[in-house]
């Protein structure tokens, strides 16, 4: 008996450094007599989205290990691991000028990435 498992790949998170104000738990008396929280500024990385072309290979490796371990526990032996690749592209063209002075230029690119892994396993007798 054979079993096929799909392990999806995920893109790496993208983000930026952001300065945040973190309360220290202390209070101070303000100029007009009111209490104010004492804060400290700290830079933290904040996720803003996900890459559209870079696969999180560490997570994919961990997910593959978990899937293989589960198959082994269920009495299966891995026969093959096959990557599934997908592609993406972009292009643009610009034209300008008038009459004999007209011009145009453009660009295009394409790339592929691993979108998932297919594990094929067979039952150990």
Q: How far apart are CA 56 and CA 59, in angstroms?
A: 6
pLDDT at residue 110 in the model: 92
What DSSP element (H or E) covers 73?
Answer: helix 57-73
The pTM of this model reads: 0.67
Listed in sequence order, the residues at least 6 apart from 73 whose beta carbon sits closer than 8 Å to its beta carbon are none
Q: How far apart are CA 93 and CA 110, in angstroms?
A: 15
Burial pattern 94-103, b for ≥16 Cβ within 10 A else e, equals eeeeeeeeee
**Is pLDDT of 76 > 80?**
yes
pLDDT tens digits, one per residue of 10-67: 999 999 999 888 888 888 887 777 888 888 888 988 899 999 888 999 999 999 999 9
Q: How far apart are CA 84 and CA 56, in angstroms?
A: 15
């Amino acid at each position: 008996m054979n079993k096929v498992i799909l392990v999806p790949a995920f893109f790496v998170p993208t983000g930026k450094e952001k300065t945040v104000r973190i309360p220290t738990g202390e209070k101070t008396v303000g100029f007009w007599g009111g209490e104010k929280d004492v804060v400290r500024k700290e830079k933290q990385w904040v996720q803003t989205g996900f890459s559209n072309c870079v696969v999180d290979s560490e997570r994919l490796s961990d997910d593959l290990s978990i899937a293989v371990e589960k198959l082994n526990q269920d009495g299966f032996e891995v026969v093959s691991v096959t990557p599934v690749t997908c592609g993406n592209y972009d292009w643009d063209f610009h034209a300008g000028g008038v009459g004999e002075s007209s011009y145009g230029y453009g660009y295009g690119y394409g790339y592929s990435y691993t979108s998932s892994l297919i594990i094929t396993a067979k039952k150990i007798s």
